Amino acid sequence: MCGIIGVVGKSDVNLQLYDGLTLLQHRGQDAAGIVTCDDDRLNQQKANGLVRDVFRARHMERLKGNFGIGHVRYPTAGSSGPALAQPFYVNSPYGIAMAHNGNLTNMREVVDEIFQQDLRHINTDSDSEVLLNVFAHELHKLHKLQPKADDIFTAMRGVHKRVRGAYACVALIVGYGIVAFRDPNGIRPLVYGKRETEKGTEYMVASESVALDVLGYTLVRDVAPGEAIYIELDGTVHSEQCAGDPYLTPCIFEHVYFARPDSIMDGVSVHKARLRQGEHLADKILRLCPDHDVDVVIPIPDSARTAGQTVAHRLGVKFREGMVKNRYIGRTFIMPGQRQRKKSVRQKLNAIELEFRGKNVLLVDDSIVRGTTCKQIIQMARDAGAAKVYFASAAPAVKYPNVYGIDMPSANELVAHGRTTEEICAEIGADWLIYQDLEDLVLSSSSGNQKIDRFDCSVFDGNYITRDVDDQYLDDLHTARNDEAKRKKVDTSAL
């Protein structure tokens, strides 16, 4: 999962982009980058690290220009070296920079086409660089000295015909403006908004509405699946549906874990979706165990705080923040290696003993993926003197790899893969384990927007909505990106 942002402003946009990226930091902690355009010059700063580490005052001073784009990266393709930090840039045609959230599922065949037919060079193993080159080639083909909105939309139609997978993107065209687009299923989120200033209207495109809110923009709407929105430098906004067969199928894991609760995605309040997840989960607990002996519900911060509240309320038991989070440690699940993830959980969370001693505690987390967090936390609860430790997951068991922008490439790294609930319970050391049912998870999200009748739930049910994800694809993905392979991978991309 990555975070992307773009601004067409009326004065320097560097600070807005920086602030916006810090608001999207939870979507990617590996690298960050900003590209701005000042007259016909691009200014760029990108590197590995958190936003606050990548941009120094001297960089910010250099990032002049009234329009620009930014990216925070969580790698899902290629290595995590500095050469794969985004935005990417191509000089022809016009000079284009692009930031991408998602993952292409037919990258290999597109790379071949790019070399053999388009005669273009790709310098990294990033799918995002591939996507940028496809867009650039489709635009180049039109041979327009000055591209118009129609040309950009024609190029976009060409892009949708060639690439598959998840892609929510923002591209900057030197001298012209920014283009925001979403794949035909709208798997990854993208919104745009505007704000009035004394100098005129400014526009922002971002992965999550929280960036708009905090920076004083009003949400206009989500970019529709398959749609492209072109915002010219004078503020003229053009939009067009560029995909043949668009069908909104957003990733439900955004609502479970990735997104901030204060974001609204495709009309669904993430906060409300999580509240409903907690209610459904409590109902299931009451169905299966009407005489439960839970004394206290303790959420695993941060992401399970919202659902934990409604679980406790519905069960009619106390809700206590018994796990304290070190606010200086980032998200553990999106860290690259298992060793780092394990260490971070212990550094990140600590139990308040008095909330555990002698009590039957129900720990609630949003999801169990590799089992790194829950295993350690259950042990911490026992060390703190809990009588019984029950564990509830607001999402169903994560059993299948993700191919659309979440780095879960290997089924056998998932604690639930090939195990029954009882076996997982034993593996993580809980006294009882309960998972949300998939239909209840879907209901939690869909009741926020009745118009969405399909979600990408592939990590729960193994149904991939784009056609090229078959066993061969999943085998290749596992070979390329399992934890061990990633550890061994030497970054040779920065040649």
Ligand X SMILES: NC(=O)CC[C@H](N)C(=O)O
What mask, x for binding ligand X by CB under 6 A, covers residues 55 to 94? ------------------xxxxx------x----------
Of 20, 33, 102, 371, the residue at the interface with ligand X (CB under 6 A) is 102
According to the binding rule CB under 6 A, does residue 105 interact with ligand X? no
Of 124, 367, 458, 493, the residue at the interface with ligand PRP (CB under 6 A) is 367
Beta bridge partners of 202: 195
What mask, x for binding Mg ion by CB under 5 A, covers residues 327 to 356? ------------------------------
* CA pair distance 27, 21, nearest whole angstrom: 9
The helix (run of H) or strand (run of E) holding residue 239 is strand 237-241
According to the binding rule CB under 6 A, does residue 366 interact with ligand PRP? yes
399 alpha-carbon distance from chain centroid: 19
Is there a contact between 96 and 89 (Cβ–Cβ < 8 Å)? yes
Secondary structure letter of residue 479 according to DSSP: H
Considering CB under 6 A, how many residues would be counted as binding ligand X? 16
According to the binding rule CB under 5 A, does residue 303 interact with Mg ion? yes
* CA pair distance 274, 304, nearest whole angstrom: 8
Is there a contact between 226 and 242 (Cβ–Cβ < 8 Å)? yes
According to the binding rule CB under 6 A, does residue 396 interact with ligand X? no
Q: In what order do the strands lie in the sheet with 296-299?
A: 318-319, 296-299, 360-365, 388-393, 432-435
Can you give 325-380 as a three-state secondary structure string?
ECCCCCCCCCCCCHHHHHHHHHHHEEECHHHCCCCEEEEEECCCCCCHHHHHHHHH
293 alpha-carbon distance from chain centroid: 37
Using CB under 6 A, which residues numbered 421 to 450 contact ligand X? none
Q: Contact region for ligand PRP (CB under 6 A) — 220-228, 297-305, 416-424, 442-450?
A: 297-305
Residue 134 contact among ligand PRP, Mg ion, ligand X, none, beta carbon within 5 to 8 Å by kind: none
* CA pair distance 290, 311, nearest whole angstrom: 14
Considering beta carbons, is residue 365 or 407 the nearer one to ligand X?
407
Residue 405 tokens, joined:
């922008």
The minimum distance between CB 251 and ligand X, in angstroms, equals: 11
Residue 102 tokens, joined:
């998602």
Of all residues in the shown chain, the one whose CB is closest to ligand X is: 2
Residue 365 annotated as part of some ligand binding site: yes
Active site residue 2: yes
Using CB under 6 A, which residues numbered 322 to 361 contact ligand PRP? 331-334
Considering beta carbons, is residue 100 or 370 the nearer one to ligand X?
100
* Three-state SS at 404: coil
Residue 355 contact among ligand X, ligand PRP, Mg ion, none, beta carbon within 5 to 8 Å by kind: none
According to the binding rule CB under 6 A, does residue 466 interact with ligand X? no
Residue 215 tokens, joined:
């920076």
Residue 331 contact among ligand PRP, Mg ion, ligand X, none, beta carbon within 5 to 8 Å by kind: ligand PRP
Beta bridge partners of 181: 169, 228
Omega before 87 cis (within 30°)? yes
According to the binding rule CB under 6 A, does residue 97 interact with ligand X? no
Residue 369 contact among Mg ion, ligand X, ligand PRP, none, beta carbon within 5 to 8 Å by kind: ligand PRP
Residue 19 tokens, joined:
């602030």
- Please give the positions annotated as active site: 2
- Binding-site ranges for ligand PRP (CB under 6 A): 257, 300-303, 331-334, 365-374
- Specify binding-site residues for Mg(2+): 303, 365-366
- Binding-site ranges for ligand X (CB under 6 A): 1-2, 73-77, 84, 100-103, 126-128, 405
- Binding-site ranges for Mg ion (CB under 5 A): 303
